[in-house]
Amino acid sequence: MQLTDYEKAMLDGVNGRAKAAAMDLLVRYGKAVGAERLVETNNVAGAFNASSPSVRHIVDKGFDAVYSELNLDSDEVVEIPHMAVNTWQLITGIDNDNWKLQGADESLVQSQRDSEAYLGDKGVNMCATCTPYQVGNVPIKGEHCAWMESSAVIYCNSVLGARTNVEGKESTGAAALTGRIPYWGYHLPENRFGTHLIEVDIAVDDMMDWGLLGYFVGEQVEENKPVLNNIMHHPNMVKLKHFGAAAASSGGVELYHIPGITAEANSLAEAFGHGKPVETLHYGRKEREQMYQKLQSATDRKVDFIMLGCPHNSIEQMALIAELLRGKRIHHDTELWVHTPRAIKQVAERNGYLRAIEAAGGVVMSDTCPAISRRMPKGVRVIATDSAKQAHYLPAIANVQGWFGSVSDCVNAAISGQWQGRV
């Protein structure tokens, strides 16, 4: 691999042992993918926080040891300097305020707080959400990023036209200290053209419909690059957030184009780089129904737990839930958790949305989600969610039955304790 003089110096330890360890990992990783060089990045979003029980024995050795082992893959414990470039913490394991409701152990909460103090001091911005683009990290077109979190990566590449691969805990840790990431995959313009044409034959408008379309697209194209044609209703951030999260869950989609809507394609010809699609697929009434059925893993209509906000809710989603709950009370056997970034929670509080949700008996969670934390209220057997991603993962992870439906289906289930959405 070709390294610049500055990169060679870092590798040789001229700028300290932490940067040398970071460069060592980037070179091993770059060679593994077959990259010819590294590229500069000033936008890293990773997972740095120590909040899971499985890393406790490393936390006992100090946070430099945690970063060295888990974020640099270094055998040697190196002293971690300030982050070299803009760096963000993604979603984490514990809600700093609602940890008791999550059933988290107090010592683990303390460990997360200590970890955040350590990381904050080194310049890791604690946005603590799977949607950094909702709370101030909005990369611009063409910007080279090093991001984890599949739903954030697909949004970053497709909607914004910035450039990132799906990075991991170790590569983002190394990128944050060096400002470098392998120049491979989606960093190269020639790898960003569409491969599969999706003819959308029915109107796709609300958030649930965008989730169903995303689930179909991911299942069909796996890791390929779909291009959507004939979109009749212009989507917004919330709808594309759900579409991308679903496509990245059922498949491994990291980039898509919607000509005239997403950043890099004004026309079908541009989306395919003036080449031809390898395959054309149709999405119609039948496919929509198949996806709807696939996302239902429940048979029992009595619902214990409603999960909203995956990916984390925007302020208008919080407003809608507050509106649906105003003057109502959720069923005494049912729990409702609504997830949103902490910065948006503050706005929701100012607007009175938080009060409306809490007055109805719901909880507004930040920093985490049940799939990441693996924490839900005790004794949950049947869940309902408005998220195709959560409906895909949570039943498998937590061994529960899952219903998938619209926001109002889910809020109605919270109020009545029964799934009354379509089966």
Partner 1 sequence: MRSQPVEAQAGQTIVIKGRAVVKGRAYGEALVTRETISGWGGINEREGTVIERRHELVGQSFAGKVLLFPGAKGSSGWSAFFHMTRLNGVSPAAMLFTRMTTKMALGAVVTRVPSMTDFEQDPFEHISTGDWVEVDADAGEVRITKSRQTD
Residue type, 160: L
d(C-alpha 165, C-alpha 309), whole Å: 24
Is the CB of 291 or the CB of 371 nearer to partner 1? 371
Least CB distance from residue 399 to partner 1, whole Å? 8
Is the CB of 160 or the CB of 258 nearer to partner 1? 160
Long-range contacts of 134-142 (CB under 8 A, 24+ apart): 134/237, 134/312, 134/314, 134/341, 134/344, 135/341, 135/343, 135/344, 136/343, 137/43, 137/45, 137/86, 137/88, 139/43, 141/263, 141/264
Is the CB of 325 or the CB of 394 nearer to partner 1? 394
d(C-alpha 418, C-alpha 270), whole Å: 48
Least CB distance from residue 315 to partner 1, whole Å? 26
Sequence length of the chain is 423
d(C-alpha 144, C-alpha 41), whole Å: 5
Is the CB of 124 or the CB of 320 nearer to partner 1? 124
Least CB distance from residue 31 to partner 1, whole Å? 8
Among 19, 29, 337, 353, binds partner 1 (CB under 8 A): 29
If one asks whether residue 166 binds partner 1 (CB under 8 A), the answer comes out as: yes
Least CB distance from residue 156 to partner 1, whole Å? 12
Is the CB of 70 or the CB of 263 nearer to partner 1? 70
Residues 118, 63: contact at Cβ < 8 Å? yes
Q: H or E element: which one contains 280?
A: strand 279-283
How many residues sit in the footprint of partner 1 (CB under 8 A)?
A: 30
Is the CB of 215 or the CB of 393 nearer to partner 1? 393
Least CB distance from residue 65 to partner 1, whole Å? 12
Among 41, 49, 51, 171, binds partner 1 (CB under 8 A): 171
d(C-alpha 188, C-alpha 184), whole Å: 6
Residues 204, 231: contact at Cβ < 8 Å? yes
Site string for partner 1, 184-223 (x = CB under 8 A): xx-------------------------------------x
If one asks whether residue 33 binds partner 1 (CB under 8 A), the answer comes out as: yes
Among 10, 59, 63, 73, binds partner 1 (CB under 8 A): 73
Least CB distance from residue 98 to partner 1, whole Å? 23
Residues 417, 303: contact at Cβ < 8 Å? yes
Residue 101: how many CB atoms within 10 A of its CB? 15
Least CB distance from residue 168 to partner 1, whole Å? 4
Is the CB of 124 or the CB of 166 nearer to partner 1? 166
If one asks whether residue 278 binds partner 1 (CB under 8 A), the answer comes out as: no
Stretch that binds partner 1, among 12-20, 101-109, 143-151, 378-386 (CB under 8 A): 143-151
Stretch that binds partner 1, among 59-67, 133-141, 160-168, 285-293 (CB under 8 A): 160-168
Q: Which residues does 53 contact at the CB level (< 8 Å), separation at least 6?
A: 105, 108
Site string for partner 1, 229-268 (x = CB under 8 A): -----------------------x----------------
In this structure, the dihedral spanned by the alpha carbons of residues 335, 338, 339 and 344, taken in order and rounded to 10 degrees, is -150
Is the CB of 216 or the CB of 353 nearer to partner 1? 216
Helices (H) and strands (E) in the chain, counts: 19, 14
Q: Give the up-direction half-sphere exposure of residue 174: CA atoms within 13 A in the CB hemisphere.
A: 27
d(C-alpha 325, C-alpha 346), whole Å: 19
Residues 161, 262: contact at Cβ < 8 Å? yes
Among 165, 224, 317, 387, binds partner 1 (CB under 8 A): 165
Among 20, 124, 153, 325, binds partner 1 (CB under 8 A): 153
Closest CA to 258 of 315, 204, 316, 188: 204
Contacts to partner 1 by CB under 8 A: 25, 28-29, 32-34, 47, 54, 69-70, 73, 148-150, 153, 165-171, 184-185, 223, 252, 371, 393, 396-397
